[in-house]
A and B are shown apart, each in its own frame.
Chain A
Amino acid sequence: QKEVEQNSGPLSVPEGAIASLNCTYSDRGSQSFFWYRQYSGKSPELIMSIYSNGDKEDGRFTAQLNKASQYVSLLIRDSQPSDSATYLCAPSDQAGTALIFGKGTTLSVSS
């Protein structure tokens, strides 16, 4: 069974700190990896995608991928209270047609 593991949290960080969100996945065939942000009561919003090993930066967000370790992470620099949400890790399935969602990590940024 394909699984995606995330620490449910809550992960609490002070405003301005770096938040580090981690995810491991079981399907070695996954080729695409996505991070979604879901505010309470809202639908998920795509914030980052990564396909190759290494780092990918977009503004305050950095995604890191290590396929050998089946590990993907998301770093949020200069965390803001508006970053408080649940972050969902979603590798694609081997066919690349569907996403396998983790249960999400709840991030709380205090001002």
Chain B
Amino acid sequence: GAVVSQHPSWVICKSGTSVKIECRSLDFQATTMFWYRQFPKQSLMLMATSNEGSKATYEQGVEKDKFLINHASLTLSTLTVTSAHPEDSSFYICSARDASGGIETQYFGPGTRLLVL
């Protein structure tokens, strides 16, 4: 089956620092990847859609200058949380869209837990 990896799985950082999270599709090419955020006991919230070779599309209310997304290749998208603050502490999950089987299906990475002190 399709496998999506994320790195790192855990990040603890000081307030004001920037954190980069990588999302990779390991056995398929993904022209589109998605970034979600999930707070404890809450539902998934789509932050942005990342398209290979073009600018990401951000959901309403998500600051594009704070959450920088780069999708430089068909297997890698990165999310950089710039000048992180405690309120950015959350579970960040990426997904990648696999269209190789004729039907587009999203597969999720294992997620990255961010704790900003």
A and B assemble together: yes
A contact set with B: CB distance below 8 Å? 32, 34, 36, 42-46, 49, 51, 88, 90, 92, 96-99, 101-104
Verify A34–B105 contact, CB threshold 8 A: yes
B110 touches A43 (CB 8 A): yes
The dominant DSSP class at the B interface is strand
Interchain CB contact (< 8 A) of A32 among B93, B104, B107, B108 = B104
Say yes or no: A97 contacts B32, CB within 8 Å.
yes
Q: Is B75 an interface residue (CB 8 A)?
A: no
User: 6 interchain pairs (CB within 8 A)?
Assistant: A32-B103, A36-B108, A42-B110, A46-B108, A101-B43, A101-B46
Interface residues of B in 59-117 (CB under 8 A from A): 93, 97, 103-111
Write the residues of chain B forming the contact surface with A, with a CB cutoff of 8 angstroms: 32, 34, 43-44, 46, 49, 93, 97, 103-111
Whether A92 and B43, one on each chain, are in contact in the complex, defined by CB atoms closer than 8 angstroms, is no
Shortest distance from the beta carbon of A51 to any chain B beta carbon, whole Å: 7
Residue pair B108, A51 in contact (C-beta under 8 Å): no
Tell which of A45, A46, A103 touches B105, judged by Cβ atoms closer than 8 Å: A46
Give the distance to chain B from A89, nearest Cβ to Cβ, in Å: 11
Known pairs A97-B32, A98-B46; A43 contacts B104 (CB<8 A): no
Decide if B106 touches A43 in the complex (CB within 8 Å).
no
- The residue in B34, B104, B111 that gathers the most chain A C-beta atoms within 10 A of its C-beta is B104
Q: How many whole Å from B91's CB to the nearest CB in chain A? A: 8
